[in-house]
Amino acid sequence: MQRVVDAFWERLEDNISEACVRVAAVDIPFYRNLPADARRMAFKRAFEAMGKDLADPTSQAFPALLKALGELRSGLGVRIMDILQGMLLGFEAVSDDFDRVFAHDPEACVYWERLRARVSYLGAAALADAYVAAREKIVRAQAEEIVQLSARVLPLYPGILVLPLVGALDAERAGQITPVLLQAVVDHGSRVVLLDVTGLPSVGAEAAEHLMGAARGVELLGATPILVGVRPHMARAMVDAGVDLGKLESRADLASGLRVALERLGMVITRKR
């Protein structure tokens, strides 16, 4: 409806000013911290995008703006509700203005409200999607960092390596850890590898299978794997799950495993007199 589009653009600046007044009267953290000029510019961009969508049935401009805003603001700790509340106050200013302008033209008011509802919904959905995508990206990055940290193989002594495992051990993570472990065995010419499960919340059937796969790989390279850090609840869980660790040697803690590893190298720890 062209008369609604024309009125929107003709009254744009006045409605932007009214939107700024309304949002300033409400304690919204995001807008409270924005300088007045920046606040006006934010509403100007939003209103201009809405104006484009009033004349475009595909309604792409406002959702695209909200998507870009979500990608930018999500990393700064801005709440979705702050942005949506500002959007609501801004478009309510236009609605109240159009109630006066089109007081004798209810068809125009209905046209605006329908478009406003549709475009607002699309914009809110795009904003939420951007926030979710940004959060998932952060979570993935944190997970990758945890994997990298937990896949570090540490040389304890010439010929002895330790692989500290922290967090849940699934197929994907095991697939990342095992090659790193085997390469470290080759690089260091290690003869004993301590698989430290102290940091694992549990060792069930799946985790045990992955450990056995890593241990077999270590054996194929001519080194001896030793499982350390198995706590009583882990042992019970493995027994209940019917896990068979075969000939894999195990010790209760890292210190005990280190003593065994040194013995395999023909060394012993003695107290200095």
The answer to whether residue 242 sits within a structural domain is: yes
The answer to whether residue 247 sits within a structural domain is: yes
In eight-state DSSP terms, residue 104 is T
Shared domain for 170 and 97, answered yes or no, is no
Shared domain for 22 and 136, answered yes or no, is yes
Last residue of a domain, one of 144, 175, 210: 144
The answer to whether residue 273 sits within a structural domain is: no
Burial of 35-62, coded b for 16+ CB within 10 Å and e otherwise, reads eeeebbebbebbbbbbbbbbeeeebebb
Q: What is the pLDDT of residues 2-21, one digit of tens each?
A: 999 999 999 999 999 999 99
pTM of the model: 0.54
Q: Give the C-alpha separation, 160 to 154, whole Å.
A: 9
For strand 249-251 and strand 224-228, is the pairing parallel, antiparallel, or unpaired?
Answer: parallel
Shared domain for 137 and 184, answered yes or no, is no
The answer to whether residue 208 sits within a structural domain is: yes
The answer to whether residue 188 sits within a structural domain is: yes
> Which residues is 157 bridged to in the sheet?
160
Cβ distance 134 to 75 under 8 Å? yes
Shared domain for 24 and 79, answered yes or no, is yes
Q: Give the C-alpha separation, 62 to 17, whole Å.
A: 19
Last residue of a domain, one of 144, 174, 196: 144
Report residue 25 as tokens: 């009267």
Report residue 155 as tokens: 């040389």
Q: Which of 199, 233, 192, 189 is nearest to 215 (CA)?
A: 192
Shared domain for 129 and 176, answered yes or no, is no
Shared domain for 129 and 47, answered yes or no, is yes
- 78 CB neighbour count, 10 Å cutoff: 17
Shared domain for 123 and 159, answered yes or no, is no
In eight-state DSSP terms, residue 191 is S
In CATH, what number is assigned to the domain containing residue 259? 3.30.750.24
The answer to whether residue 212 sits within a structural domain is: yes
In CATH, what number is assigned to the domain containing residue 49? 1.10.490
Shared domain for 177 and 136, answered yes or no, is no
The answer to whether residue 269 sits within a structural domain is: no
Q: Which of 198, 186, 183, 192 is nearest to 252 (CA)?
A: 198
Shared domain for 115 and 68, answered yes or no, is yes
Q: What is the pLDDT of residues 169-189, one digit of tens each?
A: 776 777 778 888 899 999 999
pLDDT, tens digit only, all 273 positions of the chain: 899 999 999 999 999 999 999 998 888 888 888 888 988 998 999 999 999 998 887 888 888 988 888 887 777 777 888 888 888 999 999 999 999 999 999 999 999 999 989 888 888 898 888 888 877 777 776 666 665 555 678 888 899 999 988 777 776 777 778 888 899 999 999 999 999 988 888 777 777 777 888 888 999 999 999 999 888 877 777 777 776 666 788 888 899 999 889 988 888 777 776
Shared domain for 136 and 188, answered yes or no, is no
Q: What is the 3-state secondary structure (H, E, C) of 146-182?
A: HHHHHCCCEEEECCEEEEEEECCCCHHHHHHHHHHHH
Report residue 140 as tokens: 């993935």
Q: Give the C-alpha separation, 143 to 146, whole Å.
A: 5
Query: What DSSP letter does each residue of 193-222 carry, written as one string?
Result: EEEEEEE-S---HHHHHHHHHHHHHHHHTT
Shared domain for 136 and 176, answered yes or no, is no
Residue 238: CA count within 13 A, CB half-sphere: 18
Shared domain for 24 and 129, answered yes or no, is yes
Instruction: Give the domain range for residue 190.
Output: 151-264
- Structural domains of the chain, count: 2
The answer to whether residue 29 sits within a structural domain is: yes
Number of residues that make up the chain: 273
Last residue of a domain, one of 102, 126, 144: 144
Alpha helices in the chain (DSSP H): 2-10, 12-24, 29-32, 36-54, 61-73, 80-101, 106-150, 171-188, 205-220, 232-240, 254-264
